[in-house]
Each structure stands twice: as C-alpha cells, then as structure tokens.
C-alpha cells in the first residue's frame, strides 16, 4: 500500500553531538519525603469491628473460621461469634471473587465461562523499516546541493523520527501468513478479526442503503433503556424491538469484551421524557439494505439480516492471504490488529535505539543515488556527495597556503573555519588580512571539493582517513569492523540527535 504524502525533510539542525553533551538525568527530589506515610499507609486493620466483650479475651483475626468442636459444649456467646466469623468469611470470599472477575485483583477470568482463554501464538513476522521514497529523494537532493558530510546514524534516526518518513515491510512465513481485506484494505495476522469487521468495512460495495421515516411509534412509555457504555437508547423493555436491538448492539460492539450477562448489568432504565421522545424519533428511522450484484435484488430490513447474507455470499472472496506487504508509517500505527500493531511498535523502539537495518538500507540507496559512503571518527559511517581521498603532498604546483591549511587541519581534528582562519591569519588588523582570508577560503573550498578535506554538517573540518589507518583498524577488529557504526552509538546521546525545522533550508558552507 502506498504511504502518506511526503513531508519536507530538512537537515539544517542535524548535529553530531559528543558523549559529554548528554543531558543529565533529572535528579530525584526527596526533600519532602519522610517515610512515615509509607509505613503508616502499609498498616491495615487486622481485626474486624466487633462489639467489645470481655476485654481479656483475644479476638480472632478477620476471616478465620472457628468451627465448633464436636461433642463439646460451647457458651452461647462463643456460638454467636463463630457464626459471625463464618458469615464474614463468606462475604470476603464473595467480594474477592467479584474483584478477581473484574480484573481488579490478579488476572481476569474468562467471562464467557470456565474454559481456558484462547491464546494467540507469537507472531513469526520479520519487520523492517525502509525510508519513504519521496522523503529519501528530498534528503538526497539536499545532500547533493552542498559538500557537507552527514552521519548515517543520525540520518537513520531522522527517517525513523516521524511516520511520514518511513515505510514498514512485513514478511511472514508461508505457514502463518498475513491477511488482507480486499486488494487495498487493511492487514492483520488474525483472520477472524477481519471477518468480524468485514461487513462494516465493505457493506457500501455490495448493498445500497436506504434510510426512510416510518409512522410514529404508538403507545405510552414511562421509561427507556440505555447502554451506559455507548449511550445508545435501546427503547422500553416492553417494546417488541428491544431484545433484537439489545442483542445486535452487544454482538457488534461488546461481544469480545464481556459476556452477555455482564453486559446486561450495563443497561440502565431512565425515566426521562426527553430521552423517550428522542428514542421515538430514532425508532421511526428505518434502514434497508438492497443487494447491488444480484440479478434479482434482495432487500433486507435490518443490518443483521444483511450481514448474514454478506457472510454467506461475499466474505469468502474478500479476504486474501499475503506473505510480504509494505505499509506506510502512518497506516502501521492505525492497524486494527492490536497484536500486530504492538509488534511493529516494539520493533520501531529497538530500531530507533540501534538503527542497523535502516543504516544498511540507506547505504545501499545512497550508493545507487551517486553519493559516497565512508568511515570516519571511530569507524562511524558518513555520506557525502564528494569522494574522500588523502592528499599527496609531493604533487607539483601546490601553493604553500594549501600545505598550511592541511597542516592546521591535521594538527587539530574537528577544527572549524573560524579557528582555522585565526590560526593562519596571525595579523587580522593588517591591510592584507582581508585578501588573505579570501585566498584561504578559496583554497579551502578547492580542498573540500576535491575530497582532500572533509567538512561535516556541524561545521568541523578533518582530513580523510589514510589507507594505513584503515588497514590497522581492520587488523585490530576484523569482526567488529562491519558494525562500527552501531558500536559508536554508545557514545551518542540516547535521545534523537536531530532537531528539525521544516521551514529552514540547508546551511551554506
């Protein structure tokens, strides 16, 4: 399925931050904590409220039964106390059972009966995040418009930051495929979920819906039933349409959440003349469904009858199985299948923390777009429109000013332009200082365009890594050399290093 319209992705505030720039965690404030509240709060009443009798007698704990020993005469006061404790114990068991049934105390029981709840097997789906094509083309155009180098790690997080900038590819196994509703409909790993919602999603394609007004409802009614959960007026309980309407509402909206007996507890009887009149107007509305693809059109007087016809004639051919799909980022967050949506959310969290798959996908696409991928700064991956190459100092025709720039950049890595000019132009107050700055800017631009000096998007300058250094790094860590970009993530901030401003363009060099 196609993703949402592309959003303008701006790289202006894409900054490379060292580890020491990390924001410190907010300190926990224990100024007003005394500890007394917790100790006092944890204390509870150990005994029930009884009428005081014989202060020396030790009162039993709450809920402990004290059956009368057989063959032993018990004082009448003792028999009454035993009966009261037994009654208290039964009431506590009943309340605990109701709390557990509602899910307030421990795991909830299956409301449909004593059978074991049906548990779905874990999803066996491979989830990959891909850059959205239009957003990727926007980023490539911005990178090619200048000579700056950008971190592949930061670019991967840039695409993952908003759902408009990425797509999600789901790959399932043949024995447990995904299911799609129609050719362009939603996806789910549960076929029953799509079947339950199929009529609601597709009834307009198979039926013509006509809404008419019938005669006013006759009779005098003093009350009307209303669903507390949805606010739907069901009508008076003695009306002939009450039970069908009640059953239909339960099956459509609440059958997966509770049993019918529990749902009946959510029905209230309201004695309000305004609500009764509103129900009368609603009861006049008659909705009919007429088939559109039958030689002899059939008309159904209710949605229940039309859905029954839909399931027997159209449902089998509207749901198809797929093994690999690509879903837009926005649509992936709106899937009706909660388990599949949660799996995508968990995969996105892991990918943002360590975007290895997105870096690989971006690297392949950047190379196809004519950009250059190289390693620098402890093996991190960078992308640039210029191919880096070491400078050969013995080349003829090179001015001393160029050599001085190379020496200054090599002596202090991550130097910026201002520091470079201050280091090379020692007398800024002289008459020739301005012309020397212009000459230095021209030489520096030539060195950057030729790839002899790297200029990063944070304004720092550096020399490309020489082949000897690359061979040394590969010899020291051949196995880890493939994932150096991920290893460098530990030195970056845990939060996203990108701050976007969609209204600002790329900085000029």
pLDDT in tens, 405-455: 998 998 888 899 889 888 888 777 777 888 888 889 999 999 999 999 999
222, 266: one domain: yes
Identify the residue with better confidence: 286 or 2: 286
What confidence score (pLDDT) does residue 220 get? 86
What confidence score (pLDDT) does residue 121 get? 61
Query: Nearest 10 degrees: CA dihedral of 119, 122, 125, 130?
Result: 100
Eight-class DSSP state of 54: -
276, 206: one domain: yes
High-pLDDT (> 90) share of the chain, %: 27
Q: Is the pLDDT assigned to residue 335 strictly greater than 80?
A: yes
Last residue within a domain, chosen from 317, 339, 356: 317
229, 339: one domain: no
High-pLDDT (> 70) share of the chain, %: 67
Q: What predicted TM-score, i.e. pTM, was given to this entire model?
A: 0.60
Q: Is residue 487 part of a domain?
A: yes
What confidence score (pLDDT) does residue 486 get? 40
135, 243: one domain: no
The mean-pLDDT minimum among 14-18, 77-81, 206-210, 289-293 falls in 14-18
Q: Is the pLDDT assigned to residue 369 strictly greater than 80?
A: yes
337, 397: one domain: no
What confidence score (pLDDT) does residue 144 get? 94
Kindly report the number of other CB atoms within 10 A of residue 249's CB atom.
18
Mean pLDDT for the stretch of residues 97-112: 44
Q: Is residue 215 part of a domain?
A: yes
Mean pLDDT for the stretch of residues 217-229: 88
Q: Is residue 89 part of a domain?
A: no
* Interval 373-419: pLDDT, tens: 999 878 899 999 999 988 875 454 678 888 889 989 988 888 998 89
Q: Is the pLDDT assigned to residue 305 strictly greater than 60?
A: yes
* pLDDT band at residue 84 under the 50/70/90 scheme: low
**In the chain, how many domains are there?**
3
* Interval 154-172: pLDDT, tens: 999 999 999 999 999 999 9
300, 171: one domain: no
What confidence score (pLDDT) does residue 315 get? 87
Q: Is residue 494 part of a domain?
A: yes
271, 137: one domain: no
Q: How far apart are CA 386 and CA 389, in angstroms?
A: 9
Q: Is the pLDDT assigned to residue 299 strictly greater than 60?
A: yes
User: Which stretch of DSSP H or E encloses residue 91?
Assistant: helix 76-102
CATH assignment at residue 448: 1.10.10.10
Q: Is residue 371 part of a domain?
A: yes
Q: Is residue 25 part of a domain?
A: no
Burial class (CB in 10 A: 0-12, 13-18, 19+), 119: exposed
* pLDDT band at residue 495 under the 50/70/90 scheme: very low
Eight-class DSSP state of 71: T
339, 473: one domain: yes
What confidence score (pLDDT) does residue 192 get? 86
What confidence score (pLDDT) does residue 344 get? 93
What confidence score (pLDDT) does residue 226 get? 93
306, 246: one domain: yes
CB 160 within 8 A of CB 129: yes
Q: Is the pLDDT assigned to residue 24 strictly greater than 80?
A: no
- Report which of 292, 296, 307, 274 is spatially closest to residue 208, judged by C-alpha positions: 292
What confidence score (pLDDT) does residue 474 get? 46
266, 381: one domain: no
Burial class (CB in 10 A: 0-12, 13-18, 19+), 173: exposed
Owning domain of residue 159: 1-18+124-177+323-388+468-509
Cα-flanking dihedrals φ and ψ of residue 26, to 5°? -65, 125
328, 379: one domain: yes
Q: Is residue 57 part of a domain?
A: no
What confidence score (pLDDT) does residue 162 get? 93
Last residue within a domain, chosen from 317, 341, 365: 317
Last residue within a domain, chosen from 257, 292, 317: 317
Mean pLDDT for the stretch of residues 19-24: 44
Q: Is the pLDDT assigned to residue 501 strictly greater than 70?
A: no
411, 484: one domain: no
Output the 3-class SS for 407-452: HHHHHCCCEEHHHHHHHHCCCCCCCCHHHHHHHHHHHHHHHHHHCC
Average pLDDT, the chain: 75
Q: Is residue 453 part of a domain?
A: yes
């Amino acid at each position: 399925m196609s993703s949402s319209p592309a959003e303008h992705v701006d790289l202006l505030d894409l900054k490379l931050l060292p580890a020491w720039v990390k924001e410190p965690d907010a300190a926990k404030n224990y100024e007003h904590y005394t500890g007394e509240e917790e100790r006092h709060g944890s204390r509870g009443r150990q005994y029930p409220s009884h009428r005081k009798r014989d202060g020396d007698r030790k009162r039993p704990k709450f809920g402990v039964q004290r059956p009368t020993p057989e063959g032993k005469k018990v004082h009448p006061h003792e028999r009454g106390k035993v009966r009261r404790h037994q009654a208290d114990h039964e009431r506590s068991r009943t309340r605990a059972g109701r709390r557990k049934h509602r899910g307030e105390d421990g795991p909830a029981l299956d409301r449909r009966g004593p059978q074991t709840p049906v548990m779905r097997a874990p999803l066996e789906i491979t989830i990959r995040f891909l850059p959205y094509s239009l957003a990727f083309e926007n980023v490539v155009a911005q990178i090619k418009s200048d000579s700056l180098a950008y971190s592949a790690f930061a670019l991967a997080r840039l695409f993952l930051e908003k759902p408009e900038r990425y797509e999600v590819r789901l790959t399932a196994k043949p024995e447990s495929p995904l299911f799609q509703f129609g050719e362009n409909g939603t996806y789910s790993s549960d076929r029953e979920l799509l079947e339950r919602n199929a009529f609601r999603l597709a009834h307009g394609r198979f039926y013509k819906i006509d809404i008419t007004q019938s005669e006013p409802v006759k009779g005098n009614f003093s009350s009307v039933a209303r669903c507390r959960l949805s606010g739907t007026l069901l009508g008076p309980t003695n009306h002939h349409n009450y039970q069908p309407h009640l059953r239909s509402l339960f099956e459509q909206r609440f059958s997966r959440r509770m049993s019918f007996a529990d749902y009946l507890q959510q029905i209230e009887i309201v004695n309000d003349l305004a609500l009764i009149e509103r129900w009368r107007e609603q009861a006049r509305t008659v909705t009919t469904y007429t088939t559109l693809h039958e030689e002899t059109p059939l008309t159904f007087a209710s949605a229940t009858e039309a859905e029954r016809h839909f399931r027997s004639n159209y449902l089998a051919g509207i749901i198809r199985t797929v093994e690999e799909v690509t879903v837009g980022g926005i649509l992936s967050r709106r899937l009706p299948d909660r388990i599949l949506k949660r799996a995508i959310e968990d995969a996105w969290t892991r990918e943002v923390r360590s975007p290895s798959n997105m870096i690989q996908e971006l690297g392949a696409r950047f190379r196809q777009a004519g950009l250059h991928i190289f390693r620098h700064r402890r093996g991190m991956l960078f992308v640039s429109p210029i191919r880096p190459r070491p400078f050969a100092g013995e080349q003829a025709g090179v001015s001393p000013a160029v050599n001085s720039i190379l020496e200054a950049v090599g002596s202090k890595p991550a130097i910026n332009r201002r520091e470079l000019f201050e280091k090379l132009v020692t007398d800024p107050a002289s008459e020739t200082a301005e012309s020397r700055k212009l000459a230095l800017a021209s030489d520096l631009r030539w060195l950057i365009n030729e790839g002899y000096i790297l200029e990063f998007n944070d304004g720092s300058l550096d020399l490309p890594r020489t082949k000897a250094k690359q061979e040394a790094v590969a010899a020291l860590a051949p196995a880890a050399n493939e994932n150096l970009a991920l290893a460098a993530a530990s030195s970056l901030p845990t939060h996203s290093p990108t701050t976007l401003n969609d209204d600002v363009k790329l900085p000029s060099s």
